[in-house]
Chains A and B, each alone.
Chain A
Amino acid sequence: MRFMLLFSRQGKLRLQKWYTATAERDKKKMVRELMQIVLARKPKMCSFLEWRDLKIVYKRYASLYFCCAIEEQDNELITLEVIHRFVELLDKYFGSVCELDIIFNFEKAYFILDEFLMGGEIQDTSKKSVLKAIEQADLLQEVSWASELT
């Protein structure tokens, strides 16, 4: 996977993760271009499109678009699964996630994504173990927080 974007229906970027080194300028350009294309698509249209030399897989959950760019030989359907799995993870973690959760806790959303995907590859296919890792890391964070205050 080359990158993953989360953006709202209004075209506001909520999350971006790049798995290949890309210059800041190109990133902005690509994000803008992609958002335009994806947002213009009608709801009944399929989730895949070919863009430059990449394949774009996107899915809309409520007001958020999850959008992944994959390479020519990659499997579109499994990428949809990845997106869905990520949404499920967010959902489990936040408890029925909404856009605001991701806005206000964007670092948590990143942590979850990082536990789930690494370098564009799936790290763990088990939801449980991803959530467990996140919970334990959070616990550790709280401990260090607490120790600092005392």
Chain B
Amino acid sequence: MALKIVKGSIDRMFDKNLQDLVRGIRNHKEDEAKYISTCIDEIKQELKQDNIAVKANAVCKLTYLQMLGYDVSWAAFNIVEVMSSSKFTYKRIGYLAASQCFHENTDVIMLTTNQIRKDLSSPNQYDTGVALTGLSCFVTPDLARDLANDIMTLMSHTKPYIRKKAVLIMYKVFLKYPESLRPAFPRLKEKLEDPDPGVQSAAVNVICELARRNPKNYLSLAPLFFKLMTSSTNNWVLIKIIKLFGALTPLEPRLGKKLIEPLTNLIHSTSAMSLLYECVNTVIAGQYSCSVGRIKSHLLCVQKLRILIEDSDQNLKYLGLLAMSKILKTHPKSVQSHKDLILQCLDDKDESIRLRALDLLYGMVSKKNLMEIVKKLMIHVDKAEGTTYRDELLTKIIDICSQSNYQYITNFEWYISILVELTRLEGTRHGHLIASQMLDVAIRVKAIRVFAVAQMATLLDNAHLLTGNMQRNGICEVLYAAAWICGEFSEHLENPVQTLEAMLRPKVATLPGHIQAVYVQNAAKLFATILKNQEGNTDSTAAQETSQMMIDRLPLFVQSANLEVQERASCILQLVKYIQKLQQKDVEVAEEVSALFAGELNPVAPKAQKKVPVPEGLDLDAWINEPPSESESEDEQPKAIFTKEEPKHSRPRHTEVDEKELARRREARKQEQANNPFYIKASPSSQKVYQEAPGVEHIPVVQIDLSVPLKVPGLPMSDQYVKLEEERRQKERAEKKKKEKKKRKEKRSGRGKKHDSGPESEEDITPAHVVDIVTEEMPEVAQEDQNHLPSPYLCRVKICICMFCLCRPLADSEKLPVRSHRAAGAPKSPAEDGEAENATPQEPKKKSSKEKRDKKKDKERDRKVRLRCWKHLPPSGHKSDSRSTPSEGRTAARRQLRRCNLMTQCFTFLVFPFSRKVCDIQGNLQDGSQVVVSVIFENKSDSFLKSMEFNVLDSLNSKLQRPEGSGPHDGLTVPFQLPPGVSNEARFVFTVQSIVMPQKLKGTLTFIVKNEDSSTHEKLDFKLHFTCTSYLITTPCYSDAFAKLLESGDLKSSSVRLEGVNMPFHHLLARICFHHHFSVVERINSCASMYSRSIQGHHVCLLVKTTVSIDAKCDEPTLLGNVLDEIKQTFSQC
């Protein structure tokens, strides 16, 4: 043996250790892969040896290689071997390797369960620690389930080192095995008050993370956390607590009020930026809910954020802006006053800060400052380096201006000139964005058309400036808009012939196809207008010259490789030729020609197509043709806002299009046209909107001196509008003042009303132009269908824990699994843990006797009594017990509970009108006709309660069992008294005749409230709800027995449909099992059979289908009907 070890040690001396490996890799930079593959071969050899030291060394090297990106999954088993070494040195390496290399699908993880369990219970705390650390990385649902109980025990370990690790890993366990949360929670809660600060902060961490996922369950911890928050000085812990409160506040608005003070104190006092930032964030997020300190607190936040933004530290600046944008949503005004600061940030060296500032600006604009802000941004556009940032600026400018339907734009001439200025940007790829804005504004703002047309004509005239450079390809999209606007609104053109000439220049043929097509089409429109203008003249030569120009120039487009251009051009060419013939015969054609393009085009809402009902028999998803191959779909151009550009060189397959393919394309084109707001199409409703829109006459139009540089391209001119606008506003203000003065004069005799002529407010600014067409066209059908459901993709559910309430006691099924031999011997077995959990309400009894002595100290406060009831049935064999006094019945029921370990639950709620407290009953039923109801009395008041008497109004069916000799209406004395805050349990026995109907029993609790100086007699009414479900007991049933039962023919059937239930099928089943005490007999694909038995032996069988219908059979139809109703109700509540 010794020899072997020595031999191993000697061998090892020749092996490479980690250092050698690293050094080797560094020395073989050129042929790293080759070197490593030889290393891996060596490692494989090493792993084959028996010596654990050699193996550990090999595994260590593998871990390094894994980090470099090499696959080491083949060595998983070796890693497990090293993990199970008894030597800490190797164990540590083994666990490290496992934590780096294992993941949920590593199959050897199954082998580790016992090893890990052994390590967890190791006497050496570092063994345990290493195992916990490793486990935190590779815990799987299986491991979590098997080890949850062991880890839970470790939470109470004597060493804080282990406790804190155990607490932290519990979080991972909860995520993987949510069922462990409830049993472990009480202990986790205890750890919040652990003497060791490390353990405490770990517990805070875990609860905070849990609460962020489902805050509701943790509201009850708020007081405890509040105490921690005000007492703790550890910033790490404070941040977590504040985060937790941030999650809780939306659920409990009162918390906000309570928190605001400590939070503002912290904001004032702390020197830690991280804590300050957290506080500010929480205050911002929670603001809507706390109204009292609100005004001050958000101002304080803005003030603090300003300090952050002004700081030289880039990080603080960034976060300050980030938080500022959150405040902006709720308090835009308070942020707007810091406009200067935010504009400054645009100059920052750091691009991410600039982008943040841009985001903020978007929300900060108002009618008043829009021009100023955009002016600043334009300056930045000019000096911005790097196209990405400049493009970002460009889109932001457009976003800012166009937001909420151009709400903040008062002068559209200014906006158009901004857009024109933007076209001069080098190499932007947002040409289409500018173009769509131009179109949108020109279409919607009628008053601007004259101006827009003039500008666009200039653009067309100088098109060579835009297209001259291939680099600026993106921007030529603007010409699309320019051509369309000039064509569509050609009646406003000053010199249409010149524009027409510009549109038909040979250079146009170099533009992308879809733009050329628009050029050709709009040249025709222009032509129509020119004809109309010239026809009145006596001299018809001008008109004929224009026709001649068209005929001369159009053939260039007829030869275009682009089909669209070709088609349009040849069509129009023929038309013009025909017109020319008519002109030569002196026929007046202008009317007819312009009729071709008559009618107003309105924007179509993007959703319009969706609203058009699909005709019957048309399946839009079905392929008309064979689906195209993958490669073909990749060829498709990214969607442009305009029509798709046809590839310049038609591919061979285009030549062999068959009839079907053509049909498909035609369909696609129709679709596209329908979606394209700019596509000219006949629409019966197109005229309507026009008539409804407010008249053009009412729009104030600013006189513009056109002699100023407007027509000179290449010079910025939007600035001039800023000045103009300023003047206009001043003028308006002056007029207003005049009017006000007049009014005041008129009203001099009346009460002096104060007119504030100070700084102008938002409302005072009247826009120079208004957007006329606000509504977009929608088909009349389905107009009323406006409420859009939120997209299902928006709500992503992260984890499924926390679906349940933490306050209710444990069910048997929820107890943590444990190996049976331990449960037998160990005193702290989980079964008993669970038992203790169940019995918690009973514990206070001992306490209450103690507190009874202190009763005199109690002071008078308001009284609230809370009742919680359990219903238990004594076993049939214990009838003598059940007939005896309630206290005896209780012990019997408890024994029963322990023996059968069978507990079913149901929830019902009792509403007490007196104290307005909701209470729950939970039932546990066994055979027989007797039911034990255990009631927990909890004194929520601050007074002492005594002489409690419990009485229930008997019904024919159910009777409260009273001691012999007492009358049928006598109450039962509750055998204890209740000091404030104490709860205790009493049990009462009921006899029930028939269980087929649910029933409610009315009852009264009388008691004496004793204060220091007085005592009063009080009464509390309540109802006990015995549901049919509570008479059912979960009973397992084998499928063959189940089949026989169904075949017997003794059962009556009934069925029910659950409406609006869309939960996963297994959840549905779990719910039925849980709430209604059924067990699943068999589950086959889309349906499951379930079984339960009543305390009187009725069989209840269900067949649940995924279509959420339930077919049920039972030998008692009334019972069945009621149970089904209750099931239905359960699902209607969720």
Contacts and interface: CB of A to CB of B under 8 A. Distances in A.
Interface in B159-201: 161, 164-165, 168-169, 171-172, 197-198, 201
A46 B165 contact: no
Contacts of B353: 46
A98 interface: no
B104 interface: yes
Interface stretch (B202-210, B395-403, B524-532, B615-623): B202-210
Contacts of A149: 9
Contacts of B138: 21
B88 interface: yes
Contacts of A16: 67, 100
A30 interface: no
Contact of B243 (A28, A75, A104): A75
A18 B69 CA distance: 14
Interface stretch (A62-70, A86-94, A114-122): A114-122
Contacts of B171: 119, 121
A28 B68 CA distance: 10
B126 A13 contact: no
A50 B640 CA distance: 28
A19 to B, nearest CB: 7
Interface residues of B, number: 69
Contacts of A18: 137
A76 B236 contact: no
A97 interface: no
B124 interface: yes
A119 B136 contact: yes
A104 B352 contact: no
A110 interface: yes
A141 B92 contact: yes
A55 B942 CA distance: 49
Interface string B56-97: 000010011001110101000000000000011100110010
Contacts of B314: 44-47
B202 A121 contact: yes
Contacts of A76: 277, 315, 319
Main secondary structure of the interface of B (DSSP, over half): helix
B133 interface: yes
Interface size class of A (residues with CB under 8 A): 35 or more
Given A44-B314, A44-B350, A126 B198 contact: yes
B205 A106 contact: no
Given A121-B202, A123-B168, A137-B129, A73 B93 contact: no
Given A46-B317, A46-B353, A136-B126, A119 B89 contact: no
Nearest to B93: A107
B482 to A, nearest CB: 37
Contacts of A15: 67
Interface in B120-172: 124, 126, 129-130, 132-133, 136-138, 161, 164-165, 168-169, 171-172
B1091 interface: no
A33 interface: no
B602 to A, nearest CB: 39
Contact of B89 (A23, A133, A144): A144
Interface string B9-42: 1000000001100100000000000000000000
B201 A77 contact: no
Given A75-B239, A75-B278, A133-B161, A46 B352 contact: yes
A106 B88 contact: no
Given A48-B319, A137-B126, A119 B201 contact: no
Interface in A108-136: 110-111, 114-115, 118-119, 121-126, 129, 133, 136
A78 B67 contact: no
A78 B239 contact: yes
B239 A24 contact: no
Interface in A6-54: 13-19, 21-24, 28, 42, 44-49
B339 interface: no
Contact of B88 (A103, A125, A137): A137
B349 interface: yes
Max chain A Cβ within 10 angstroms of own Cβ: one of B138, B243, B352: B352
User: Top 9 A-B pairs ranked by shortest CB distance?
Assistant: A77-B274, A46-B314, A46-B318, A119-B136, A78-B274, A114-B133, A141-B89, A45-B350, A121-B205
20 contacts: A13-B68, A15-B67, A23-B103, A44-B350, A46-B353, A76-B315, A77-B273, A103-B22, A104-B19, A106-B64, A115-B133, A118-B169, A119-B171, A123-B164, A123-B168, A124-B198, A133-B129, A141-B88, A141-B89, A144-B88
Interface of A: 13-19, 21-24, 28, 42, 44-49, 73, 75-78, 80-81, 103-104, 106-107, 110-111, 114-115, 118-119, 121-126, 129, 133, 136-137, 140-141, 144-145, 148-149
Given A106-B64, A118-B136, 8 more contacts: A22-B103, A47-B315, A77-B319, A80-B274, A80-B315, A104-B22, A119-B171, A137-B92
